[in-house]
Amino acid sequence: MRMRIGILEATPAVERLDLVAPPVAAALSAWSGPVPVAEIGVAEIDPELADTAAFCERYGVGLEASANCVVVAGRRGGEVRLAACVVLATTRADVNGLVRRHLEARRASFAPLDEAVAETGMDYGGITPIGLPADWPLLVDAAVAASPRVVVGSGLRRSKLTLPGKALSDLPNAVVLDGLGR
């Protein structure tokens, strides 16, 4: 199967596990979702261009086809609950509204960089929904889930995954929310 990301030619990620972070490789190796794992592609990129705007400009990917995965910390009392949110690059995650309410938290904010990296086992700027801790809620914007194909991180800054949005919404810990991206 041939998969293109803008001007990049992607190959099935299971054939290039060296291009994804270890937790992503483990998740892909154990993949059992309704979207065949062969439909998840990976392409190597310049790690200096991993951030969304630079990546999209250099590799010819529209922002509407690029999804960002952010780690959020919800706090209530002394308890902190981590979650991940996936929204299109054309929007921002509604952290202080929808995410906070979904986590039943009094406050919610983006998790500190060091904590996000340590808890995911992934590079900052490459965090992806595939391979996240199984006990984390994964909040997926409905627009991402409906996308025929999106680009997300690979767990590393030196590559990107491309996959049908449905693959993300079918992950075991995923909850699809309308209006998560605003």
- What's the pLDDT score for residue 132? 97
Sorting pLDDT into bands at 50, 70 and 90, what band is 3? confident
- What's the pLDDT score for residue 144? 97
Rounded to two decimals, the pTM is 0.95
- What's the pLDDT score for residue 147? 96
Q: What is the mean pLDDT of residues 35-41?
A: 96
Residue 1 reports pLDDT greater than 70: no
With b meaning 16 or more CB within 10 Å and e meaning fewer, what string describes 37-74? Answer: bebbbbbbbeeebbebeebbeebebeeebbbbbbbbbb
Q: What is the mean pLDDT of residues 113-134?
A: 96
Residue 2 reports pLDDT greater than 70: no
Separation CA 73–CA 80 (nearest Å)? 6
Burial class (CB in 10 A: 0-12, 13-18, 19+), 122: buried
